[in-house]
Structure 1
Amino acid sequence: MARPPEPGTPVAITGLGLVTPAGIGVEKNWHRVLSGRATAQHDPGLSGLPVDIACRVPDFDADALLGRSTAWRLDRVTQLGLVAAKEALADARLRPESWNETRVAVILGNALGGTASYEAAHTALHNEGAAHVSPLVMVNWPVSMISGYLAMYCRALGPNLVVSTACASGATAIGIARQMLRSRVCDIVITGATEAPLSPTPMAAYHQMGALSRRTETPETASRPFDAARDGFVAAEAAAILILEREDDAHRRGAPVHALVSGFGASADGHHASAPDPTGKGPQRALQAALEDAGLAARDIDHVNAHGTSTEKNDIMEAELIGRVLDNRPSVTSTKGVTGHALGAAGAIEAAYTALTIEHGLVPPTANLEQLDPAISLDIVAGTARMQDVTAAACHSFGFGGQNAVLILRAATS
């Protein structure tokens, strides 16, 4: 039976794995986000749509990375997650064949499930008939299968679930993973998120909502968080996997510690299906809950990795929130200028980047920020990366349905 959470039990990030439009692997990702070079391009898979730009993972060869016998059965959303998990486990110096498998949990975030599998099945049904629908769609489309496959791959037999809180999914998954470790229902958690939404139907729907940038003539300039000329987000696919352990366990086995997950807060706007509450009251409750959970005051936060979607309403609401609550003017960045918006995976990617910011003392710039919206008064890092000793940082994630999640990360103790 799980014990109550132990006050002050530090939870460490001991492994990182990244597969994003910024590259395959942590090293390539870190170099690209520090460069501030955007990844958006015309996407042949979206040809014919009004918005045909997106941020895809470059040179992703699932057969080479996973083996054809594994890759052919899986939707791209799971392929991305498995490749990121392989890197994260190696980084954490963990070998599944040597751990207590019943004490390893898998807690992942995802918003849309296996969109490519569903789209292919739907097309086959209408064009060729029911006999041509692959039975694999029902073990690839549902969001639950993402964590299921990862558990099979890694032999992780503890708690297994997928959290779906729209674009807050990745951050929510990490927060729940932390709570499970503090409650001692497991000893290791494979967490984070994966998303592969770049199929025609969801992209057409996002366009119809007016959510996507229409800068199709110059895709590399389209994702521009906090810029006065922003006009929507650029959709992305990606996966980020983090290995979490209690800090004392990590130290006992000599594992590396990138940063600590020290606080988590979540809330609901209860306002609108897709638009943020302009008052920012829901995100503020999540931020204040995360600060309280971490035992920190607002003045202790010296950096924010913002949700920063490049949409008009989100960026204004979030800027006002940061200025109102974190009035010591922490540095702010949105790495979505480089990677685009990976929806349910965004919060996990940005938590990984924040851990690297803390570890390396470098804040990535916000790409394409040429003229700050005059309604925004924040210390936003732009142009080039900034050297900064970051000891405590907030990661914001807000999603459709008014779902909010905030993580607080801190520098590891010696």
Structure 2
Amino acid sequence: MNVRNGGQRRVAITGMGTINALGHDVPATLEALREGRCGISQLDFRDVERLTIQIGAQVHDWTPENYFNRQQILLYDKFTQFTLLAAKQAVDQSGLEFQGDLGLQSGVVLGTAGGGLNTWDENYRVVYEEGKNRVHPFVVPKLMNNAAASHVSMEFGLRGPAFTVATACASSNHAMGLAFQMVRSGATKAMLTGGSEAMLCFGGVKAWEGLRVMSKDACRPFSANRNGMVQGEGAGVFVFEDWDHARERGAEILAEVVGFAMSSDAADIVMPSAQGAERAITGAMNDAGLKPEEIGYINAHGTGTAANDKTECAAVAHAFGHHADRLMISSTKAMHGHVIGGTGAIEMLACIMALRDGIIAPTIGYEEPDPECALDVVPNEAREAKVDAVLSNAFAFGGLNAVLALRKA
């Protein structure tokens, strides 16, 4: 039996799926990441002209009728639609069929911050703007945060643990971390995990405008002239599987999940803490049994806000010490946007690409060095590099931090 860390089981990633502003599947997304392509554009939805912020990383050419029947569309909010598409891609790649005992020993844990925000937005309009007194009977099961996880469990026959994590921008990393722990402990054989978000509607963007952290023109992580984040939408779903189970059936192992840690700043509802972030970073390395010099790349939280970027760089510099100078760290949010509760799942694709393909996704939009972000941020162009272990950072409003460690398979 393959075990790590005191007899705990090893965890393989055997499938991945996505839809986001860069592509409707994994190959298209990875190609865009390699090319440093920007998925941010003019937003296109009702009343967008009333917004101060009119750009976002929106999924264009999305036609739900191509994937779902009329009854399903009535029941699935956009965030659920995205999740089901990504989950199907991941399961297809894994080759798993969740029948018999495997279905009983497998589950799903997903992250989202807003859940069915499009459904909320549409029905507030019906009641408050149009003055109607009745909404569709499916409104509650459509908007609830656990809708995507529940539909995924039903679609694939996953009868083990099934639930949703909502920790703002760390939701996906928390979800994937919990899925990792379940497989590692032997509680489950396989888990579908990741996250999704579909906040790009009038109400969703208007709410974020109030925070005054949004850019009107572009996301420029770590660049001295950065002026805010840009919202995105989409989903990323992965199959986390018991290593021995994957090997016995001859599955392709894309990467190994080796560590996870979470921490709370317990300080401020919106301002990040370098100390809290550092504790999650060092905790993930300790959980994985990795030394700082073994980490070659970090996919940063890197939102493009003044507060987040310098805080994250300080945390990384302190956690890695002298090795920080030899570390590559990039933020892919300038390409796919900040997908809020789904962002860590989409960023996991960049981590797997680094390990499997030896390609480090760039931080695009980088224009001016910032003395407070004096790390190798892989500016503007992807880089070929051999890395054996990586981290994925997520630091959320509420002071909630979640970091995952992956190793090359």
Normalized against structure 1, the TM-score is what?
A: 0.94
Residue 83 of structure 1: CA displacement?
A: 0.3
Unaligned runs of 5+ in 1: 216-221
Residue 8 of structure 1: CA displacement?
A: 4.5
Match of 1:140 in 2: 142
Match of 2:400 in 1: 403
Match of 2:287 in 1: 293
- CA distances 1:41-100 after superposition (whole Å, capped 9, x unpaired): 111223320111111112221110234442332100000000000100011112345763
Match of 1:333 in 2: 330
| Deviating more after overlay: 121-130 vs 299-308 | 121-130
- CA distances 1:199-243 after superposition (whole Å, capped 9, x unpaired): 21231121111111022xxxxxx0111111111111010100010
Match of 1:58 in 2: 60
Superposed, which structure 2 residues align to 1:15-414 within 5 Å? 15-45=15-45, 46-97=48-99, 100-129=102-131, 131-215=133-217, 222-277=218-273, 280-327=274-321, 328=323, 329-412=326-409
- Give the SS at the match of 1:348: helix
Letter in 1 for 2:103: E
Root-mean-square deviation (Å): 1.5
CA contact (8 A) 2:229 2:304 kept: yes
Unaligned runs of 5+ in 2: none
CA contact (8 A) 1:23 1:58 kept: no
Letter in 1 for 2:291: A
CA contact (8 A) 1:53 1:234 kept: yes
CA contact (8 A) 2:223 2:369 kept: yes
Residue 295 of structure 1: CA displacement?
A: 0.5
CA contact (8 A) 1:37 1:338 kept: yes
Distance 1:118 1:139 in 2: 12
Q: How many residues align?
A: 400
CA contact (8 A) 2:12 2:240 kept: yes
Distance 1:139 1:214 in 2: 34
Letter in 2 for 1:176: L
Letter in 1 for 2:267: H
CA contact (8 A) 2:9 2:186 kept: no
CA contact (8 A) 1:192 1:241 kept: yes
- Give the SS at the match of 2:310: helix
Residue 130 of structure 1: CA displacement?
A: 5.4
Letter in 2 for 1:24: H
- Give the SS at the match of 2:50: coil
| Deviating more after overlay: 251-260 vs 194-203 | 194-203
Distance 1:243 1:42 in 2: 33
Distance 2:228 2:89 in 1: 32
- CA distances 1:139-173 after superposition (whole Å, capped 9, x unpaired): 01110112111111111111110011110010110
Distance 2:6 2:180 in 1: 12
Residue 6 of structure 1: CA displacement?
A: 5.7
Alpha-carbon distance change, 127 to 157 in structure 1, aligned in 2, over 3 angstroms? same
Identical-pair percentage: 34
Distance 1:121 1:131 in 2: 10
CA contact (8 A) 1:148 1:160 kept: yes
Distance 1:68 1:98 in 2: 30
Match of 1:11 in 2: 11
CA contact (8 A) 2:86 2:237 kept: yes
Distance 1:118 1:148 in 2: 19
Match of 1:218 in 2: none
- CA distances 1:163-197 after superposition (whole Å, capped 9, x unpaired): 11110010110100011112222111000001101
Normalized against structure 2, the TM-score is what?
A: 0.95
Residue 311 of structure 1: CA displacement?
A: 0.6
| Deviating more after overlay: 302-311 vs 349-358 | 349-358
Distance 2:132 2:279 in 1: 48
Residue 268 of structure 1: CA displacement?
A: 0.5
Letter in 2 for 1:324: H
Distance 2:17 2:308 in 1: 28
Residue 128 of structure 1: CA displacement?
A: 3.9
